[in-house]
């Protein structure tokens, strides 16, 4: 994974802080050990000459918290405060994300895609409706133009032909005699 300044800087700062804290703890341990080794070796003559610290009585001293409790509660409070501040900062970034130029374009594109998808869905639904209505109208138009089938009827018996009736041929002129209106007389045929 490539290192970035935003990751390296805090890690370097924390490492330097931890090293300085370790050096301070070593120095204090050396000082305490030196004081402990020197104090018992003092002759009692010198110990008597040292000023005595006055005894101070503090009211409710027995109710005061121990130093360990003060440190623990202080850091617990700081931990909770830091967690709340982190949540606030994350919420603030999320709320202002559309205003950040790099994110505003992405947010606009996401909104545009959503709008386009909704419009496409509406267009598809409208197209389906139009196709269905057109097909129904075409079906009705075809049904109206088609000839309706005749109701089935029983066949009529053929009329009997007269037995050997001979027709006499008519002269050709009589067959095609024109009427007075210029049409051929059908009865003349």
Report pLDDT for 69. 93
136 or 86, greater pLDDT: 86
The pLDDT, as a whole number, for residue 77 is 96
Residue 68 or 145, more confident:
68
Separation of alpha carbons 49 and 43, rounded Å = 10
| pLDDT value of position 73 | 95
pLDDT higher than 90, residue 75: yes
Res 137 pLDDT > 60: yes
For residue 55, which phi and psi values (nearest 5 degrees)? -80, 120
Helix (H) or strand (E) holding 3: none
Enumerate the domain spans of the chain. Answer: 14-51
Q: How far apart are the first and last CA of the chain?
A: 112
What pLDDT, on the 0 to 100 scale, is given for residue 30? 95
Q: What is the DSSP letter of 60?
A: T
Per-residue b or e along 139-157, where b marks 16 or more CB atoms closer than 10 Å to that residue's CB: eeeeeeeeeeeeeeeeeee
């Amino acid at each position: 994974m490539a290192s970035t300044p935003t990751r390296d800087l805090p890690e370097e700062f924390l490492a330097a802080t931890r090293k300085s804290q370790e050096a301070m703890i070593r120095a204090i341990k050396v000082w305490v050990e030196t004081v402990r080794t020197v104090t018992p070796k003092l002759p009692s003559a010198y110990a008597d000459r040292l000023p005595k610290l006055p005894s101070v009585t503090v009211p409710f001293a027995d109710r005061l918290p121990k130093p360990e409790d003060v440190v623990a509660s202080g850091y617990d409070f700081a931990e909770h405060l830091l967690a709340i501040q982190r949540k606030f900062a994350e919420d603030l970034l999320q709320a202002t994300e559309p205003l950040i130029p790099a994110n505003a374009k992405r947010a606009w594109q996401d909104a545009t895609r959503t709008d386009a998808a909704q419009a496409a869905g509406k267009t598809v639904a409208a197209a389906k409706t139009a196709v269905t209505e057109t097909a129904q109208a075409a079906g009705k138009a075809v049904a109206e133009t088609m000839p309706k089938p005749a109701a089935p009827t029983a066949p009529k018996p053929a009329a009997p032909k007269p037995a050997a009736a001979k027709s006499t041929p008519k002269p050709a002129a009589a067959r095609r005699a024109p009427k007075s209106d210029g049409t051929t007389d059908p009865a003349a045929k």
